[in-house]
Chain A
Amino acid sequence: METLTPVFDVAAIRQDFPILNQTIHGKPLVYFDNAATSQKPLPVIQALNEYYRSYNANIHRGIHTLAEKATAQYEATRETVRQFINAAYREEIIFTRGSTEAINLVAATFGRQNVQAGDEVIISTMEHHSNIVPWQMLCEEKGATLKVIPITDEGEIILEEYEKLLSERTKVVALVYVSNSLGTINPVKEVIDLAHKYGAKVLLDGAQATVHLDIDVQALDCDFYVLSSHKMYGPTGVGALYGKRELLEAMPPYQGGGEMIKEVSFEKTTYNELPYKFEAGTPNIADTVAFKAAIDYINKIGKSVIAEYEHELLAYGTEALSQIEGLRIIGQAREKISVISFVIKGIHHQDVGIILDTQGIAVRTGHHCTQPMMHRFGIPGTSRASFAMYNTKEEIDRLVQGLHKVKKMFA
């Protein structure tokens, strides 16, 4: 019987990412900083180029041909994002600058409206600063309390402790779906169902998760979901907020301006309908249009095929790095995406990063915007290698060689 599994041809995929084909300090580039931002395939670069070359125009209000084409392409991305995360309605997809802005939007509108003095907001120890600070600001303003779900040494949230934090006072639970510094995939379905028992709304930070996992916001039943294009092989400066329609409808607008209004007089302004109510001003049209090309690219190759390959890289990398004496992997959750954070005994992560760079290997070093979590592990930071679909086992071998060199230099 013939197998129907599509072939995953990493060499062909690498051809689609021109940036990979270069040398850094004389060595072929190994790009392992994908959790910070992934590289962009040709269709994305071409979409950007084509937009500016052939149909740049301001969207929505124009009646001329270019404006209509730009509007159609912009809205096509909205539909593509909707399908990608399986939202029920297109107007549940609000374009933002990225995950950070999407979280801020929810905290500033839904949060301000629904969180009052004495209420509680729950986050976890492994949150990105983007999913800490907006809630902290809200709690400070309202006299509410921020509660934090603790994590284990392996880097998993402790569900029993989470349950203890929940109460009628809980208004929002904001949780990272996949941790950027540990790679942990959180048991979000359980977290959401428990929160709903207490009437709390749940925001999932999908900045890392969206590119690696199959996302179904309806099956998850999350109330809000945020994502960033640039971590999904798409352009920087664009992302999306998903919110359940009835919640978005009840929320006050975020910013005032053009596009988000129905009618303006000096006495009173009425607001536009969803999703435009939350999209004041001329948006990032070009990058939003090109974002669609990124999602199409992922879909064409197949998310499950990519996930399988990335998992292979994770297993290979984890095994290889574990062999290095004095190296400790931070984040050993049972469910992980292809992120390996590590510390090497006696060597500062900055020194690791600089020496790897001289060998053409790009990793991220530092606290990865998760300072409270680094505190939890009692370390100032880690070095982090994060893999994307275009990475290879040979590149992981180069990382291992590079780390041996680091160890020798700092011995």
Chain B
Amino acid sequence: MTINEIQDEIVEEFSLFEDWADKYEYIIDVGKKLPPLPAQYKTEENIIKGCQSQVWLHASLNSEGKVIFEGDSDAIIVRGLIGLLIRVLSNQKPEDIAKANIYFIDKVGMSGHLAQTRSNGLASMVKQMKLYGLAYQVKQEVK
């Protein structure tokens, strides 16, 4: 699926929820299910500076030339958000990630509510993922 197809799918899923409690239940569930990041990747350089919780993001390129993201946080809701972003942006081509327009956060109504971005680092996460995309894209072009 393309990045936008996945985003639309998430927007559709969220449209089923009546209120914020349900949306959070869902995000928390994603957070609980996200596999923990292996300890060797929980390094200082993989930390994304959010204000309240620690967030780690690790990227690698697989044999098909797609970027694989893994991430973790010590707070569950943020883990859930990482899980959603990974679902959207992981296993995609570097150039697609670099130019992606992330709109699902707005569309599910999270931006007003959840993404007091400075406190949960959501914006920094998106930015960092796109930067990885760009970095791998440049690397491939150089080769």
Q: Mark B41-71, 1 if CB is under 8 A from A, else 0.
A: 0000000000111100000000000000000
B17 adjacent to chain A (CB < 8 Å): no
CB contact under 8 A between A354 and B24, given known A366-B52, A381-B52: yes
By a CB distance below 8 angstroms, the chain A residues around B51 are: 366
A358 contacts B76, CB within 8 Å?
no
A349 adjacent to chain B (CB < 8 Å): yes
By a CB distance below 8 angstroms, the chain B residues around A380 are: 54, 74
B25 adjacent to chain A (CB < 8 Å): yes
Q: Mark A217-235, 1 if CB is under 8 A from B, else 0.
A: 0000000000000000000
Q: Which of B21, B25, B28, B120 contacts A350 (CB 8 A)?
A: B120
A266 adjacent to chain B (CB < 8 Å): no
Q: Mark B16-41, 1 if CB is under 8 A from A, else 0.
A: 00011100110010000000000000
B97 adjacent to chain A (CB < 8 Å): no
A409 adjacent to chain B (CB < 8 Å): yes
A365 contacts B52, CB within 8 Å?
yes
Q: Which of A25, A348, A409 contacts B75 (CB 8 A)?
A: A348
How many contacts A-B (CB < 8 Å)?
38
B25 contacts A348, CB within 8 Å?
no
Question: Which of B52, B54, B120 has most chain A Cβ within 10 Å?
Answer: B52
B122 adjacent to chain A (CB < 8 Å): no
By a CB distance below 8 angstroms, the chain A residues around B77 are: 350-351, 354
By a CB distance below 8 angstroms, the chain A residues around B88 are: none
By a CB distance below 8 angstroms, the chain B residues around A355 are: 24
A350 contacts B24, CB within 8 Å?
no
Q: Which of A25, A26, A349 contacts B52 (CB 8 A)?
A: A349
B111 adjacent to chain A (CB < 8 Å): no
Q: Which of A353, A366, A409 contacts B28 (CB 8 A)?
A: A409
Q: Mark A352-375, 1 if CB is under 8 A from B, else 0.
A: 011100100000011000000000
Can you name 14 A-B pairs with beta carbons within 8 Å?
A26-B19, A350-B52, A350-B53, A350-B75, A351-B75, A351-B77, A355-B24, A358-B20, A358-B21, A358-B24, A365-B52, A409-B25, A409-B28, A410-B28
The 9 A-B pairs with the shortest beta carbon distances in the complex, nearest first, are: A348-B75, A350-B52, A350-B75, A358-B20, A350-B53, A351-B75, A351-B76, A351-B77, A366-B52
A residues in contact (CB < 8 Å) with B: 25-26, 347-351, 353-355, 358, 365-366, 380-381, 409-410
